[in-house]
Amino acid sequence: MRKKLGIIKVSISQGRNEFMAQQNTSDLIEAYIKQILEESEIIEIRRAEMASLFHCVPSQINYVINTRFTITRGYSVESKRGGGGYIRIEKVRMSSCHQFLEHVKRLFGDELTEKDAIAIIQKLYEEEIITEREGHLLLTTIAKSVLTIAEEDQIRASLMRAILERLSYEDRK
């Protein structure tokens, strides 16, 4: 798996104290879940057990799942509430680059927030559809500081759609 654009990730296999010193609880929870997802495409977790493991409140587990395991980041999440409840997380797998790009295009309408655009670009990089350099160029084009007009979310969505269409076209060649 590729590293996050512009950020070097610390491996969980390194010493726990060194890892924990460099990351907050949300980062630790995210890294733990991603490590498990490397071993299995679908995982089921219990919120209370995860909270106990990380010495945090269950709502922090919800926060991590709701913000870091979204469809724009390539994850499908299903939850069942109640005593026997669970949270099922699945890494979305696409059979082809073209199928993946078409799927991503359907995730947003006429507007796209900077946060969601960044998540899409990160996913394109992780899936090796774009290079690190291309990722940084794309991040520059969708930055809030560049799009400082009232319709910035609409322009961002239009730019992202055009980029995805071009990548999809190139994949079909």
Residue 8: inside a domain: no
pLDDT at residue 171, rounded to an integer? 67
pLDDT digits (tens, 9 = 90+) for 31-66: 999 988 888 878 888 888 888 889 999 889 999 999
pLDDT at residue 172, rounded to an integer? 67
Compute the distance between CA of residue 61 and CA of residue 69 in angstroms, rounded to an integer: 11
Query: Cβ neighbours of residue 27 under 8 Å, at least 6 residues apart?
Result: none
Number of domains in the chain: 2
Indicate whether 83 and 101 sit together in one domain: no
Helices (H), 14-131: 16-21, 25-39, 47-54, 58-68, 97-105, 114-126
Compute the distance between CA of residue 134 and CA of residue 161 in angstroms, rounded to an integer: 16
The number of helices, as runs of H, and strands, as runs of E, in the chain is 8, 3
Range of the domain at 123: 97-172
Indicate whether 86 and 31 sit together in one domain: yes
Low-confidence ranges of the chain (pLDDT < 50): 1-19
Indicate whether 73 and 122 sit together in one domain: no
Residue 37: inside a domain: yes
Indicate whether 87 and 101 sit together in one domain: no
The domain boundary, picked from 44, 67, 91, lies at 91
Half-sphere exposure of 32 (CA within 13 A, CB side): 19
pLDDT at residue 98, rounded to an integer? 78
Residue 11: inside a domain: no
Residue 2: inside a domain: no
Domain at 78, CATH number: 3.30.56.130
Indicate whether 26 and 78 sit together in one domain: yes
Indicate whether 21 and 69 sit together in one domain: yes
pLDDT at residue 83, rounded to an integer? 65
Q: What does 37-66 look like in DSSP terms, one character per residue?
A: HHH-SEEEE-HHHHHHHHTS-HHHHHHHHH
Indicate whether 136 and 72 sit together in one domain: no
The domain boundary, picked from 30, 62, 91, lies at 91
Beta bridge partners of 44: 88
Indicate whether 101 and 147 sit together in one domain: yes
Residue 7: inside a domain: no
